Amino acid sequence: MRPRNDSVLMALETYLRDVAVELGADHAVAAQDAKDVVDLETEVAKITVPKEEKRDFFKQYNPTTLAEFAKNYSYVDFASALRKVFCTANIYLEDDQEIIVQFPSYYKKLQDVLNHSDKRTLMNSFGFKFAAAKINSLSEKFRKLRYGLMEALSGKKGIEPRWKTCLQVVVGAFPVGVSKAYTRQRFSNDSKAYVTSMVKDIATSFKEILLEANWMGNKTKAKALEKLEAMTFIVGHPDVRFSDQEINEKYLQFVMTSDNFYKNMETTVRNVRIMKLQKLKEPRDDTEHAAKKSHEVNAIYIWRQNQVAIFAGMMQPPYFSETFPDSMNYGGIGFMIGHEITHGFDDIGGQYAKNGKLDEWWQPEDWSTFKDRRQCIIDQYGNYFYKTAEKNLNGINTQGENVADNGGLKESYRAYKKLLKRKGTGKLLPGLNLTQDQLFFLSAAQIWCGKQTKESAILQVDSQDHSPGRFRIIGPLQNSPDFAKAYNCPAGSPMNPEKKCSVW
């Protein structure tokens, strides 16, 4: 059974109980039911494949057919369940419909958990999930029931301002429309030209690093160069955007009323789900993701498309400004561009070939050296103690992001040094007695300034791929001889340790 002092599980139990009571259940019965459901969820969590084992995508690629899958796991009528879901999008699944089973061991063990659970708890579990998904669309009385759970998870107290909630809902429902509206108002072609030239420079840096990599054999190197050549880039938003008419047509089914939020949410959730299901029969669209996310303060590398996208929302301070010295732009958004390019060649990106398909394109001995080089990063970050969370980072789960941070900073710095040769040293910042090199690293550090509650720090360390901001800076800078030189850190001092890790 679970540890009874776990505050998140206790908060979840209270939340489930209170929702049931608010919907009319007896308090004592609801309390027992809630406890049983949380126990069941804890059992399911125990058979769930640990995050550390989810980084091998070859293991997760287990193609089968719907009929085979249904036969192998006949303890639930998965075929009818899936057919019913897809039916809402007017898609009938044939017996020979190909499906990929990511975690067969989970389905094997699930049977056992289900066999040991009573029907009431199972039904309650579904009922609770159904109700919980709709709480945010209900009146304040219901929404308040979530506060305790949210506080236990994130440390944030109370309710979010209404405008934030409404904005999230609108963005979630109409991402393509919001993205277009944002880029129309807040995106300039001058910024696009500047960042596009940065992308070219930084990709060239990665190419040089690849060519210099003497730990890698020529066969693997040739494949890696091909992959880099084939990588596509979206800066700001896709070049071809949806017309206003296309956007209107896309959302034709989303009929909204002005006086019933719950009904609007029902309509939205149903239509968003149908749009997702319909993708099963549609060809891959490589611009779709960026068309939905242009407004986000983010950048991404998509393995299955071999594509880097730098969203328009990120092309603003502190990451970027047309008025910043070049050093700050390369330390800011340049660092992120390099980070995304490097993802194509981290432990997961390295499993995907230039066309976005899983492919063992590495010679075995090169993959093995690559693994050793990554181990250095895994150990380095795994040894960082995060005071706010009162625990060490998970070096395995964060390795891809850490490798990308380390490579990204190095690539962007190289690109910046070459720009200096072309353009000459530009303006410095008035009032700050810092060199351009110092500004580069200061700008890199500034983008990860932030503060975090203890609860959200624990959640991040336990469940996320990204190291907390503090270590996204300390890690790459400790590994960077360029940083040590720029700030005159003596050899062997904390920010210039003798042992340095380098994958790329």
Q: Which two tokens stand for residue 198?
A: 């940065």
* Minimum CB distance to Zn ion smaller for 137 or for 399: 399
Tell me the closest approach of the beta carbon of residue 221 to Zn ion, in angstroms: 23
**C-alpha count within 13 angstroms, C-beta hemisphere, residue 496:** 13
* Minimum CB distance to Zn ion smaller for 313 or for 325: 313
Residues between 402 and 461 with contacts to Zn ion, criterion CB under 5 A = 404
Tell me the closest approach of the beta carbon of residue 401 to Zn ion, in angstroms: 5
Residues between 357 and 376 with contacts to Zn ion, criterion CB under 5 A = none
Contact in structure between 114 and 75 (CB atoms under 8 Å): yes
- Please count the residues of this chain forming the interface with Zn ion, following the rule CB under 5 A: 2
* Minimum CB distance to Zn ion smaller for 177 or for 349: 349
Write down the catalytic residue from 43, 405, 437, 455: 405
Q: Which of 203, 194, 243 is nearest to 225 (CA)?
A: 203
> ∠ at Cα 324 (318, 326), nearest 5°?
110
Tell me the closest approach of the beta carbon of residue 279 to Zn ion, in angstroms: 24
Strand partners of residue 386: 391
Q: Which of 379, 371, 320 is nearest to 503 (CA)?
A: 371
For the chain, the distance separating the N- and C-terminal CA atoms, rounded to the nearest angstrom, is 44
Is 411 tagged catalytic?
no
* Minimum CB distance to Zn ion smaller for 404 or for 484: 404
> If you search the block for the tokens 């089968």, which residue do you land on?
64
* Minimum CB distance to Zn ion smaller for 216 or for 404: 404
Tell me the closest approach of the beta carbon of residue 67 to Zn ion, in angstroms: 38
Write down the catalytic residue from 340, 346, 347, 366: 340
| 273-292 b/e (C-beta count within 10 Å ≥ 16 → b) | eeeebeeeeeeeebbebbbb
Q: Which two tokens stand for residue 479?
A: 């590994």
* Residues whose CB falls within 8 Å of the CB of residue 483, separated by 6 or more in sequence, listed in order: 441, 477, 489, 495, 496
Numbers of helices and strands, H then E, in the chain: 23, 7
Tell me the closest approach of the beta carbon of residue 500 to Zn ion, in angstroms: 21
Residues between 378 and 407 with contacts to Zn ion, criterion CB under 5 A = 401, 404
Is 285 tagged catalytic?
no
Contact in structure between 338 and 202 (CB atoms under 8 Å): yes
* Minimum CB distance to Zn ion smaller for 177 or for 338: 338
Tell me the closest approach of the beta carbon of residue 339 to Zn ion, in angstroms: 6
Residues that bind Zn ion (CB under 5 A): 401, 404
Q: Which residues are catalytic?
A: 340, 405
